């Protein structure tokens, strides 16, 4: 549809994470081939190095451990779920991460409000990702 666009702050945040050498993955209910196609169509696939997809497992709650195993297999990085931050705009994004101990940043750029995302257990909520200083300083604790 014509209303598909990158949400405010996403490109800037991906750039910051990339510059810091932070590995960025994708968790999605899409199949892997479709997900990479979407990322390429927005010209952002280069920022993502691994992911968990519905083609890996139909149960969304299993995707974070699957994605982290792929990260280990590819880069020999043993990142635990509780060392991970999941950023999402739906309750399913929150509930796929919390049981594994991951932190969740809920972003109200979709159909759900900050209050709704918080009620599902998001650790932080923002209207969008445009204030990258808050994300860098308050959530990621990145030094300049």
Domains of the chain by start residue, with CATH? 10-139 (3.40.50.1000)
Where are the extended beta strands (E) located within 1-144? Answer: 25-27, 50-52, 85-88, 103-107, 124-126
Q: Which helix (H) or strand (E) holds 32?
A: helix 32-41
Q: How confident is the model at residue 137 (pLDDT cuts 50, 70, 90)?
A: confident
The C-alpha angle with vertex 49 and arms to 47 and 53, in degrees rounded to 5, equals 110
pTM of the predicted model, to two decimals?
0.92
52-111 pLDDT per residue, tens: 999 999 999 999 999 999 999 999 999 999 999 999 999 999 999 999 999 999 999 999
């Amino acid at each position: 549809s014509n209303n598909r666009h990158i949400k405010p702050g996403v490109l800037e945040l991906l750039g910051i994470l990339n510059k810091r050498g932070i590995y960025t993955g994708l968790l999605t209910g899409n199949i892997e081939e479709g997900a990479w196609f979407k990322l390429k169509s927005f010209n952002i696939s280069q920022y993502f190095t691994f992911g968990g997809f519905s083609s890996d497992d139909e149960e969304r709650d299993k995707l974070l451990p699957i994605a982290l195993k792929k990260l280990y297999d590819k880069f020999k990085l043993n990142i635990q779920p509780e060392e991970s931050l999941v950023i999402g705009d739906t309750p399913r994004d929150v509930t796929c991460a919390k049981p594994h101990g991951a932190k969740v940043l809920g972003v109200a750029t979709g159909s759900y409000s900050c209050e709704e995302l918080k009620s599902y257990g998001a650790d932080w909520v923002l209207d969008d990702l445009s204030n990258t200083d808050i994300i860098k300083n308050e959530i990621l604790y990145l030094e300049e």
